[in-house]
Structure 1
Amino acid sequence: MNNISVLGCGWLGKPLAISFLEAGFIVKGSTTSEEKMTDLASVGIEPYLVNISEFEEFDEFLNTAILVIAITSKDVDGFENLISQIQNSAVQKVIFISSTSVYPRINKIMTEEDAVMTKNPLVAIENLFRENTFFETTIIRFAGLFGGERHPANWFKDGRKIPQPKGFVNMIHREDCIEIIHEIINQNCWNETFNACATHHPTREEFYVNARISKGFAAPVFEENDNVEWKIISSKKIQNVLGYEFIHDNLMKI
């Protein structure tokens, strides 16, 4: 099980793939850009051009024990084709990166047991993996992503007003994303669905004012909403099942 493929070596996937190399895995990584092939090879990742929407065959890339899917595509047909190839490959375990955007804002704490928005294509894709019995899949629903060059102070810089200032923030740092993926593999935790979100939920107003001022920017401007819509993502399951403690849990210290 020391062979792993990372589908999508972007903002999350590339540092994840590098972390697997450092942990002693043999790592294949994919990109949709020929220009990035050399970049991946330069850090020790075996590079592949993979675009699931082009309905090609990815036999060699899928010649691996573990597959981590870290692409942003919501192409349901493309995923159906990919899954048909996975089930005929050497892949035994899959981690599918999903999003807490599958939950509606209905002013409550959301757990993995709560209803999701069935019209969200991510829900359909999750179900494709969940229902396939040829391999085992764990689904991780990450909250809003930040870390590295992705800093919340740089969001809404074009003068747009930030909506729902009295709502709550659901965020997770890239380092926590990577560590959670490692823990799932290390603890052999499959056929699960996890929310992954820092346990700290300041209001959007508190969070974005702090983020902007911390970088020396002017305070942001907010919309005034009569109807407050929010959700708080619970990570209790991932804490209980994996014993996970978040590295970046205080979102006011980003």
Structure 2
Amino acid sequence: MKRVSVLGCGWLGKSLAISLLDEGYSVKGSTTSEDKLELLEMNNIDPYIVNISEFEEFDDFLSADILIIAITSKDVDGFENLISQIENSEIQKVIFISSTSVYGRLNKVMTEEDAVLKTPLTEIENLFRENTFFETTIIRFAGLFGDVRQPSNWFKNGRKIPQPKGFVNMIHKEDCIEIIHEIIDQNCWNETFNACSNHHPTRREFYTIAKLSNDFEVPEFEENEVYEWKIISSKKVQEVLGYTLIHDDLLSI
């Protein structure tokens, strides 16, 4: 399978599309902005305008073997329409990029076996998981960072950081891309994976070091809160794929 369509060539999707080109794949990429078409084309990505909420037909974009969905939309109706088009397309495999936000803060380690919140995102996950016309693997990424997306730039303008005793659940963009490559290379379908660093410093420790290391002032934290936290386990994806995280010490980064 050498034809891939990447739905959503933003911060993660564009870098992913470029990495797939480097591996010899034929890559189509989508954006919702006419202004970004030229940027995709400059990177040798076959560019398309796709907005799933506009209920248009995406036949040419879906002429591929694998579809990777990397958009943040929570439009259930739009996804239902997209899925109906995938059913009638050449797409055989789908990677749906989800989020560990599907888990509540239950003061425990969360695995793929734990119950999830009832949200549009989990409803969309189920639409893909239950479809029998194609095979889907769902990746629940933790907080994303890397390149221009740096934690030291978050919580600016005097914003206090909540839950300082809680734990950080994050993953670097480079690991996100490598995990997606491994899923494709190993033909690993019909799975749901958490993907997160194994390192979970407290939010107080992590954001203090992040700020100070980039010459910001010591951040302020909200102290009078109910103590709520979760730690995301990504043991399954590491064991199933035999994957070793590249960026696994969040404080050194």
Name the TM-score, length of structure 2 as normaliser: 0.99
Tell me the distance in 1 between the aligned counterparts of 2:78 and 2:129. 16
Any unmatched runs of 5+ in structure 1?
none
Tell me the distance in 2 between the aligned counterparts of 1:239 and 1:248. 13
Q: Deviations over 1:83-131 (max 9, x none)?
A: 000010000000000000000001000000000001x111000000000
> What amino acid does structure 2 have at the position aligned with 1:78?
G
1:81 is matched with 81
Tell me the distance in 1 between the aligned counterparts of 2:55 and 2:22. 32
Tell me the distance in 2 between the aligned counterparts of 1:226 and 1:132. 41
> What amino acid does structure 1 have at the position aligned with 2:70?
A
> What amino acid does structure 2 have at the position aligned with 1:153?
S
2:203 is matched with 204
1:187 is matched with 186
1:137 is matched with 136
Aligned to 1:128, the other structure's residue is in SS state helix
- CA 1:188 to 1:168, structure 2 compared with 1: closer, same or farther past 3 Å? same
Question: Contact (CA 8 Å) 1:12, 1:174: kept in 2 or not?
Answer: yes
2:173 matches 1:168: no
Q: CA deviation at 1:253?
A: 1.3
Aligned to 1:18, the other structure's residue is in SS state helix
2:98 matches 1:98: yes
Question: Contact (CA 8 Å) 1:163, 1:225: kept in 2 or not?
Answer: no
Task: State the 4+ residue runs in structure 1 displaced beyond 4 angstroms.
Answer: none
How many residues are paired up? 253
Identity %: 75
Aligned to 1:253, the other structure's residue is in SS state coil
Aligned to 2:117, the other structure's residue is in SS state coil
Name the TM-score, length of structure 1 as normaliser: 0.99
Aligned to 1:28, the other structure's residue is in SS state strand
Q: CA deviation at 1:225?
A: 3.1
1:117 is matched with 117
Any unmatched runs of 5+ in structure 2?
none
Question: Contact (CA 8 Å) 2:163, 2:225: kept in 1 or not?
Answer: no
2:220 is matched with 221
Q: CA deviation at 1:227?
A: 1.8
Q: CA deviation at 1:158?
A: 1.5
CA RMSD of aligned residues (A): 0.5
